[in-house]
Amino acid sequence: MLYITYNTASAFICFLMALVFLFNDKDAAWRLMILFLLASLATEVLGIFMRHAVHSNLGVYNIYVVIECGFTSFFFYHLYGNYSGKLKWLLAWLAFFLVMYIAELLYNNFADFVFISATIMSVVFVLASLLYYFLKMQDDHFEPLLSSGPFWWVSGALFFYFGSTACNLFFDYLKDHDTAIYSRSVRYVVFVALNIVLYTCWSYSFICRYRQQRSSSY
Amino acid sequence: MQVSTTEIVFLLGLGSLIFLIAPLFLVMYVLLYNRNKKKHAEEKMAMQVSYETELLKTQMEVQEQTFKTIAYNLHDNIGQLLSLMTITLSSVNVNDTARTAEKIATVEDLTKRSMKEVKALSRLLQGDELLGKGLTTAIEAELDFLQRSDRYKISFTRFADIVFDDSSKAIIVFRLFQEIVNNIIQHARATEIFVTLEQVSGMYKIIMRDNGIGFNVDEKISSKTGMGLLNITKRAALIKGTAYISSIPDQGTVIILNIPIAQ
């Protein structure tokens, strides 16, 4: 029961949805989503294990930030594909992130969460989501967004990364004065809510993607 | 200052809620915008379909008009010439050499005139090809044919050549021209027709004037018989142009078509 939390449960359901609906997807980027969700789920489980075993799971989450940044950036780049997304921008961003990430790790002596890198990453993903919306609105070609997989994937990312801004802004304070609420920290409760929103949007986007693939194959 | 637990929970909860509501509104806005885009796309599609239907109708009307003119000409012109030839030939008396030579000369003249008429008809029959050579050429050919009837004195002034990149636009303008000419023939009782082609600040201007009996424009448009005039205005609007109609009873009518050059 230790490993069954809101976060692991929602991540597991989303992973199952990805497995069912994206396994036979024609697009490798969407299929890669299954592995990414598996990594997310493994991180959550490992995080719980590490917290109980060695009383710190910072290392696990610090590694996960790199995977998260790499995959999410790549996926955004993939979604921009139709609008001539440039590879050099993706590579420049990833290089910048890595330099910043390593510098922060060294600055913290590997003893703290890479808060600044994660916050900047969130801001970049919020901007990337807004850019996607902008491109969609500019596009003369009409696409039913209510049933568009990419649109709901981006919306999930926007809800998560924009919604976590309040927690990121209060991060330093919460780190020192985290307040107990319902036997959990405030930050934890907010992130549970954000994870549920994120995984719901993404699960729906997988269903949309599956239906889109099926209808186009007829 | 000590911040209480409840205050932190409240602040963070409120902050997170606001940061969640903001993208929610954004998503709703994008969806709404997209719905309007769909509506706009549907309207555009409907307009395109209506334009294509109108274009097809116009093409058929141009053909119909050509066939009517041919039928009229065959009956009234070539038919008359052939009848005259038959009568002349049947009255030939081979014993009267002098009169026979005169009659044969008349028949020869009638044959030449018939051939000219057939040539003019065949030129008219190639209306589509004429349009391919340019709208000005097609208009000129139509007026040329009208002049042959000797019913009208025609003045054609060309200050500019009308050239459209879009051939469908040329067909619609040509049909507008035909419709106006038809109205003059059928209703105006005119003896003179003036046609001027101009180019004024990004627009082609076709001015058509007659010295016929004229009519009351407002009265005509509001009556059932004014459908033709409404049709002219509607067709001009279809290609983003305008049709200005002015008429004074017993003094004649002026119709000015303004058609934008650009798509």
| Lowest-confidence region among A34-38, A39-43, B185-189, B227-231 | B227-231
User: Between vectors from CA B169 to CA B164 and to CA B174, what angle results, nearest 5°?
Assistant: 95
Q: Where are the domains of chain B?
A: 151-263
CA distance readout (Å), B46 to A69, A105, B56:
45, 60, 15
**Shortest CB distance from A155 goes to which of B15, B27, B38?**
B27
Interchain proximity B9–A142, CB inside 8 Å: no
Q: Bridge-partner residues for B258, per DSSP?
A: B205, B242
8-state DSSP, B208: E
Alpha-carbon dihedral sign for residues A165, A167, A169, A175: negative
Whether A120 shows a pLDDT value over 80: the answer reads yes
The pLDDT of residue B226 is 74
Q: Which residue has the tokens 């568009």?
A: A148
Which residues in chain B are closer than 8 Å to A136, comparing Cβ atoms?
30, 34
Other residues' Cβ atoms within 10 Å of the Cβ of residue A13: 16
Contact at 8 Å (CB) between B181 and B147?
Answer: no
Pair type for strands B192-200 and B153-158: parallel
| CA gap A25, A205 in Å, rounded | 13
Mean pLDDT of B20-46: 91
The pLDDT of residue A19 is 95
Choosing among B34, B35, B43, which should be mutated to test the A contact, i.e. which has the most A CBs within 10 A? B34
8-state DSSP, B154: E
The pLDDT of residue A72 is 96
> What does the pLDDT look like over B147-171, one tens digit per residue?
877 788 999 999 988 888 888 888 8
> What does the pLDDT look like over A146-176, one tens digit per residue?
999 999 999 999 999 998 877 777 766 666 6
Whether B17 shows a pLDDT value over 60: the answer reads yes
Which residues in chain A are closer than 8 Å to B19, comparing Cβ atoms?
162-166
Interchain proximity A136–B20, CB inside 8 Å: no
Q: Which residues of A touch B (CB under 8 A)?
A: 129-130, 133, 136-137, 142-146, 151, 155, 158-159, 162-167, 169-170, 174, 177, 179-181, 186-187, 190, 193-194, 197
Q: What is the CATH number of domain B151-263?
A: 3.30.565.10
| CA gap A157, A164 in Å, rounded | 11
Which residues in chain B are closer than 8 Å to A158, comparing Cβ atoms?
23, 26-27
**Shortest CB distance from B15 goes to which of A130, A133, A166?**
A166
| Lowest-confidence region among A25-34, B71-80, B205-214, B242-251 | B71-80
**Shortest CB distance from A145 goes to which of B12, B24, B31?**
B31
> What does the pLDDT look like over B177-188, one tens digit per residue?
988 998 898 888
pLDDT band at A122 (very low <50, low <70, confident <90, very high): very high
